[in-house]
Structure 1
Amino acid sequence: MGSIVQLSKKREQKEKSKQNSKLKAPDGETVRLWRLSMEIDDLIKKGVMNDSLPPDEIATILSHRLGTLISCCDKPEELAKFCAHIIERMNSNCITGEPA
Structure 2
Amino acid sequence: MESKFGRGFVIPLVALARHFSLPPEQAFYGAADHLDELIVPVQFAGTQVDALVKQLRKRVIWHQPGTMDREDAEEVKRILRHLLVEVDRSFGIADPQVGTYD
TM-score (norm 2): 0.32
Where is the helix percentage greater, Structure 1 or Structure 2? 1
TM-score (norm 1): 0.33
